[in-house]
Chains A and B, each alone.
Chain A
């Protein structure tokens, strides 16, 4: 009997402690709000792999020591960042400084989670317009990106020389070159046309360069761009597997010598350097008509400051973001991580110092932000784009009808 009672009491106690555990972990971290006593900042970003992880850490550390604070940094895998942010938002544990991929900034800003940076002495003077568009929402600046990237056309120098092909400047040349470079076991070109936002991103250079626009996806210019993808796949110059490939897969094909050209970004350069027998160079994305200028999408991440009740801490976080966007740090990160500074004034100097980035530096000046026109409605358009690409490349719809089918009923 007694032992039964003890057991019951234990069971009850277990329940209570379970409840306590469930309710706990909510307090804490309510640091003081007094003046200049901010000693540390928490940071969340998605550079969770080396070398990026440690290269970013260097920049963060140098800014921390300049501001006389310590930092607690957390990194998560890229595809889980938004889920992590949502989770932190609902438990009110957002970090002091938050990194966001640039097309997400407006969406998160629209929820009212971020502090406008203009009010805290920050501005985007001298930053390329595309990036300002991406990190502003309803006329206010919510983030600053020290470095950016974009995509262009990589080509294998030896393969092109062997086939007697010049790097293509127009779509006609691109198709002809891809066809000529294709032989058993090798495709002329690799790109990513998978059913994710990544697939839409890779399509944008063709779509925007040709004058297509996300506000009217059923225009003939957009259909023409899609026809380019269809032609490359149907002629056998690109693998039918492009509908499942990621940009990483495209890079793997290129590095293994199974593709002579690829559409990709400079973040692949460190990986390409591991296969020194593949000699490559980069040109801007080819044009449909000679009078066009190449327009590519802007990549890269912005640093933002979530709203904080502790005003002093919020201001310190803003100062920290300002420091990350100093000329000095922009150049340091750009050089070390094969990215590009976002200030126009730094771009030319940078291209001279890092010649492998010349084509990208050129492309970035005219590059556009994905959220520049549609803001937080961009994901809907991006979805229509990748679904249309899938319909057209699998032969379920013609390039002319694909966008109508993907967006309509």
Chain B
């Protein structure tokens, strides 16, 4: 009797064990596609890029497969390059300038569209237009708009007597960066409006009604009700903005190609040039890793910010 029960217990345990193994196999199989996708699409490129930046990876490597190990030489080469500090400064100016104006204009428009008025829905969807255009199309169009002699912008300004001489938007090293930032602001506004508008919609109307009773209207309502409630959305938006803007390549390539006289070179354009014009893939990878490291710092801020928001 006793032995019999023992065996049945043992048998049941064995069954359960098999069952367990089957279950964990099931779990593994479920996780596997995601793991493979992560490793293939994120892990491999990042690791490969890191390795590449430590190798003399050039034209020859593609044919012979040989990429001699050079340690940190690629990094020291790109950092001591005479264009590096300019590219760094331009990247900072481009990122800060773009985001400050995108955000300010985006917030203004979002607040404006909070007021319902005829056709507001239509106007708001028209605002999305810059976002829907392929970037290469946008930059080609802007290139012709900003043309010094025959561009529509200069012609209009001249006709309105706002300027005496045509402005060399893309032809002067001192103006080109401003023009490029301007175009990038135009492209970034829809993203900012959309997110801020939905952030505003989340704020319950009761708060404003209660505020009104306490005399918080207009500016005060914005400062004490809207802004504190919008803070979480705004911080996420700014962090994402930095990460998106710091790596902008296509707009600059389409507008100026980094010129004139390297006035609009950023880390991203330099990285592209090193890799695909000079075929020094090792140096290009080193530059892009520096770029990734900078974005990563902001990404950490972003992740900490969102975690706090979730905790709250």
Contact = CB atoms under 8 A, between A and B. Distances in A.
Given A14-B33, A15-B33, A391 B62 contact: no
B13 to A, nearest CB: 19
Contacts of A387: 261-262
A239 interface: yes
A19 to B, nearest CB: 7
A67 B26 CA distance: 60
B278 to A, nearest CB: 7
Interface stretch (A5-13, A70-78, A144-152, A269-277): A5-13
A8 B21 CA distance: 14
A55 interface: no
A396 B171 contact: no
Contact of B26 (A8, A22, A194): A8
Contact of A243 (B63, B82, B260, B278): B260
B33 A195 contact: no
A4 interface: yes
A383 to B, nearest CB: 8
Contact of B30 (A11, A19, A196): A11
A111 B259 contact: no
A4 to B, nearest CB: 6
A379 B263 CA distance: 21
A98 to B, nearest CB: 12
B259 A83 contact: no
A89 interface: yes
Contacts of A304: none
Interface of B: 22, 25-26, 29-30, 32-33, 36-37, 40, 59-60, 62-65, 82, 143, 147-150, 168, 170-173, 256-263, 276, 278-279
A33 interface: no
B59 A243 contact: no
A112 interface: yes
5 contacts: A11-B32, A11-B33, A89-B62, A90-B65, A396-B173
B149 A241 contact: yes
A114 to B, nearest CB: 9
A124 to B, nearest CB: 24
A37 interface: no
Given A241-B149, A390-B261, A12 B32 contact: yes
A240 B82 CA distance: 26
Given A11-B33, A15-B33, A90-B62, A391 B261 contact: yes
Contacts of B30: 7-8, 11
A62 interface: no
Contacts of A15: 32-33, 36
Residue of A4, A12, A379 contacting most chain B CB atoms (<10 Å): A12
A409 B82 contact: yes
B171 A241 contact: yes
A379 to B, nearest CB: 7
Contacts of B40: 22
Given A195-B259, A244-B257, 15 more contacts: A5-B22, A7-B30, A8-B26, A15-B36, A86-B279, A107-B59, A112-B64, A195-B261, A240-B171, A241-B147, A244-B170, A244-B171, A394-B171, A394-B173, A396-B261
B261 A113 contact: no
B149 A5 contact: no
A390 B262 contact: yes
A394 B261 contact: yes
Closest 6 CB pairs between A and B?
A8-B29, A390-B261, A111-B63, A195-B259, A12-B29, A8-B26
A110 B260 contact: no
A94 B130 CA distance: 40
B63 A241 contact: no
A345 interface: no
Question: At the interface, is chain B mostly helix, strand, loop or mixed?
Answer: loop
A396 B258 CA distance: 16
Contacts of B278: 379, 383
A374 interface: no
A243 B263 CA distance: 12
A5 B260 contact: no
Nearest to B257: A195
A243 B171 contact: yes
B36 A18 contact: yes
Contacts of A244: 143, 170-171, 256-257, 259-260
Interface string A375-408: 0000100010001001101101000000000000
A111 B261 contact: no
A308 B259 CA distance: 42
A240 B33 contact: no
A400 to B, nearest CB: 16
Contacts of B149: 239, 241
A394 to B, nearest CB: 4
A110 B64 CA distance: 11
A258 B262 CA distance: 28
Interface string A18-56: 110010000000000000000000000000000000000
Contacts of A89: 62-63
Interface in A361-383: 379, 383
Interface string A170-207: 00000000000000000000000011100000000000
Given A244-B171, A390-B262, A5 B26 contact: yes
B49 to A, nearest CB: 16
Contacts of B262: 195, 387, 390
B99 to A, nearest CB: 27
B292 to A, nearest CB: 22
A106 B25 CA distance: 56
Contacts of B37: 18
A19 B36 contact: yes
Residue of A19, A83, A111, A112 contacting most chain B CB atoms (<10 Å): A111
Contacts of A196: 257
A394 B29 contact: no
Contacts of B173: 394, 396
Contacts of B62: 86-87, 89-90, 111
A251 to B, nearest CB: 15
A7 B29 CA distance: 9
A7 B32 CA distance: 12
Given A4-B26, A107-B59, A394-B172, A243 B32 contact: no
A22 B172 CA distance: 48
Nearest to B166: A240
